[in-house]
Chain A
Amino acid sequence: MEPLNALKRIFRNIRVFLLMQWYAAKEVFAYRVSASFTMVAIALGPLMNFVFITVIYSVSSGIGGWSYYQLLLLSGVASFIISMAWYFASPWTLVNLMKQGGLDIYLTRPYPPYLSILSLGSIYSASSAFTSIAIIAYALANSSISFMPAIEFFVAIAFGLAAFIAFLLVLTMILYSLFKSARWTQNLMNVFGEFSTYPLTIYGVMGTFIFSLLVPIGLATYYPVAIIYEKTDAFTFFAIVAFAIALITLFRVLFERYLKNYTSAIG
């Protein structure tokens, strides 16, 4: 009976999440022209790195060990991960809700608070995620890849993304407790996104350590791309999945703990 109940709970949570997304999208598109223009503008964001990499490879030999399409794939994956992180976790919304006491309503609902908070992200980011997917598809279409590394690539991205979103939520809570603002979470995320656009190896041992272990963005960007182009050994994929699961669990616990410290006099 227990597995059946768990399954029911999962389906109910998915349904609730999709409903919240639907209403969030409806709210954004209440002003269709403004929303469409904003989405188009945001969709152009990932093209900046596309232009940068194209110009670099047209005036030089590029980055050693990485072909044009390989670097393009890495850049596309990095902007996809950042877009999806914003899509699921908006530091501004979360911090504003905590400041104004509006988080209460989400905590008293009969659904996991984590699920509610994941549905508060920015709908607009979906547009830059689509552009990133187009860049990824273009880079993959021009690369020769094997079946198994391709499967491992997508699985590693999924686990890496989940770990990174969990990290972002905890980072938001920590910086909120220090500065009472979401500004620095946003700035730091932009910096992380910039670093993860290029192979971690160019930052040396220290850079690789920071963006693999301390800030897990490398798990979702650099390593999956290294796997698909077979630049790592077979062990890497399993190590990434195992490490991502450990991080998701750890960050989830930390997030719940920070949430317990949240106090509100209104709401």
Chain B
Amino acid sequence: MANDFSRSAARYFAIFKISAKDMLSFRADFVLTFIMKILYPLVMVFVWTVVFRTSNVTKIGTYNLTGMIAYFFIASVIELAVFTDLPYSMQHDIKHGSIATKISMPIAYLRYIFSSNMINNFIWGSIIGIPLLALITFVFGIHVSVAQFMMFVFTLALGVLIAYSLEFIIGCLSVYTNDINGILTFEGLMASLLGGALIPITLFPGVIGKVMGLLPFQFMFYLPITAFTGSTAIKSVVLLVGVAWLSAFIIIGYFIWKNAFKKITSVGG
């Protein structure tokens, strides 16, 4: 039992080492990504400052100016954890036949592909996300209580799992279609719009906002940000909705993969 665990841990550590070495060979990428993660929400700083000044109000929805600006900076950081290369990796393996060699590795293909992508996100998150989040907390004077932080970690983990399971389903589709880029572009747009990366969900009018509150995308951006800033209390029923979506995606993914795996053909790799 202990042997099995240590052997399994050694495999994942090997994947971690390979991924880390691969990523750290392009160090300039980290610096430039850090700058980009600040540049994108910087536009929102200017836009919302002018909007608040023009409207002559202290609050729009439940957000004051600082809260609104912080929202977009945190969304920019969360993107690092939520958006993955999983479907692209799957498409590449399936189309180029390299899945044949990966299946014969001493680790199950799904475990390998999930862990390598999660490790990539973890490295990006550790090197860029955590320092940036600390900087945002300091600059905007956000007070994060232990309960808020725990809720942030939980909702973010749920959001990441939902994103991964959804993207896994899309990755499986590369067995049936020539190109999944269109589906991925569509999914990315929906996640940004319906997830609250573009604009907080509470600012959408009545029915639209309510419908968005039932979709899985809010777990990717809106809820983790809300948990972190503590702007609104998150009801436990909302978390149940997230767990239900995750379960549904896992079940769908399981059956799609089962069917897709039988159809994979390869003449090399």
The interface of chain A, by Cβ under 8 A from chain B, is 31, 33-42, 44-45, 48, 51-52, 55-56, 58-64, 179, 183-184, 187, 191, 194-195, 197-198, 202-203, 207
Across the interface, name the chain A residue whose C-beta is closest to B188: A41
Q: Is the interface of A mostly helix, strand, loop or mixed?
A: helix
CB neighbours (8 Å) of B61 from chain A are 59
Q: How many whole Å from B181's CB to the nearest CB in chain A? A: 5
Q: Does B111 contact A (CB under 8 A)?
A: no
CB neighbours (8 Å) of B123 from chain A are none
Q: How many residues of B contact A (CB 8 A)?
A: 36
Bound-complex Cα distance A263 to B265 (A): 39
Q: Is the interface of B mostly helix, strand, loop or mixed?
A: helix
Bound-complex Cα distance A36 to B199 (A): 28
CB of B189 within 8 A of CB of A55, answer no
Q: Does B215 contact A (CB under 8 A)?
A: no
In the A-B complex, list the 7 residue pairs whose CB atoms are closest, starting with the nearest: A38-B182, A37-B182, A41-B185, A64-B54, A34-B179, A41-B186, A60-B55
Bound-complex Cα distance A31 to B55 (A): 50
Q: Does B178 contact A (CB under 8 A)?
A: yes
Knowing A42-B185, A44-B189, the reply to whether A59 touches B60 (Cβ < 8 A) is yes
Bound-complex Cα distance A56 to B205 (A): 11
Q: How many whole Å from A83's CB to the nearest CB in chain B? A: 14
Q: How many whole Å from B50's CB to the nearest CB in chain A? A: 5
Bound-complex Cα distance A217 to B242 (A): 42
Q: List 28 A-B contacts (CB under 8 A).
A: A33-B177, A34-B181, A35-B182, A37-B182, A38-B179, A38-B182, A40-B182, A41-B182, A41-B183, A41-B186, A41-B189, A42-B182, A42-B185, A51-B193, A55-B199, A59-B60, A60-B52, A60-B54, A60-B55, A61-B54, A61-B56, A62-B51, A63-B47, A63-B50, A63-B54, A184-B32, A194-B43, A203-B46
CB neighbours (8 Å) of A197 from chain B are 43
CB of A198 within 8 A of CB of B47, answer yes
Q: How many whole Å from A184's CB to the nearest CB in chain B? A: 6
Q: Which of B185-220 contact A (CB under 8 A)?
A: 185-186, 189, 192-193, 198-199, 203-205
The answer, among A44, A63, A191, A194, for a CB contact under 8 Å with B51, is A63
